[in-house]
Amino acid sequence: MAFWFNSDRERGLVFAEAFARDLPDLPFAMDISEYDPDEIRYILTWTAPPDLYRFRNLEVVFSIGAGVDQFKPGTLPPGAILVRMVEDGIVRMMQEYVTLAVLALHRKLKAYIGQQADAAWLPLPVRQAAQQRIGILGLGMLAQAVMERLKPFGFPLAAWSRSERQVDGVDCYHGSDGLTPFLARTDILICLLPLTQGTHGLLDARLFATLPAGAALVHVGRGAQLDHDALIAALDEGHLSGAFIDVTEPEPLPPEHGFWRHPKIILTPHVASVTQPETAARAVIDNIKRHRDGLDPIGLVDRDRGY
């Protein structure tokens, strides 16, 4: 029985040290050529290796990131379970990034940066936090963590999920019938949804038109959820006031893409939340211990739902 770390060596050394300390009975492999494929029970990777089916005794595939849409149907052996990364570093960074984005949009940071370049001293109208309605697409662990960071500012919070959920201090909407009223009361929309067949292309012209005039977007879900042309059109027409974008399709965007120099867009290179090796190693070790004890790992993916 062995564990294969299929990622960069720098992070692998951090994992190897943690495994030697906390799981000394489990061989830790970074060079898979040194092991019989039948020995591998656990794999940590970003994508499924093309020869994954040769690991006949594989039990768990750990994603090194929070997303799992890169594992396409049919790429994993039927007997192996898939586990997304749930670790404190990812949560903390997402809280930081979304709070930064919301406050930047709320206080019109992009406009002031433009005015600074033009040597223009022009105070802009300020809306109080209690008047700035935040809406989050998604109600998973990251979304709930983000809401906890936003609550102290006094923003009215709402969230939408596929199925019915309840969260204290948050107006919760669900299902297809709940999406339109959720959007209609949202001034800053945050997308934290996983990429599934149902969320592919969700952020389109029709969705933007349902938001109130002057609304803004924070997109930290997955790149394929966003219609780029629809966003640019909504910004240029003045229906949307701004956007903070961290994920795109493709990545990186070509140099001529309209997002790079758009006066109402702040674009970052998929850095909202990055796996931290120390806390990630702890999370994987804890999940292996749970699996050995017959418990479901934290972050177990439902293959049918895709998250």
Distance of CA 256 to the CA centre of its chain: 26
204, 230 in Cβ contact below 8 A?
yes
244, 218 in Cβ contact below 8 A?
yes
Task: For residue 50, say if its preceding peptide bond is cis, omega within 30 degrees of 0.
Answer: no
How distant, in Å, are the alpha carbons of 65, 126, 150, 254 from that of 246? 15, 25, 19, 15
Q: What is the dihedral of CA 99, 104, 105, 111, to 10 degrees?
A: -170
Report d(CA 216, CA 111) in Å as an integer. 13
Report d(CA 93, CA 75) in Å as an integer. 30
- Among 84, 162, 222, 262, the active-site one is 222
- Among 107, 174, 270, 290, the active-site one is 270
Amino acid code (one letter) for 157: L
- Catalytic annotation on 174? no
- Catalytic annotation on 222? yes
Within a 10 A sphere around the Cβ of 192, how many other Cβ atoms? 25
Q: Using CA of residue 219, residue 225, residue 227, residue 230, what is the dihedral sign?
A: negative
Catalytic residue list: 222, 270
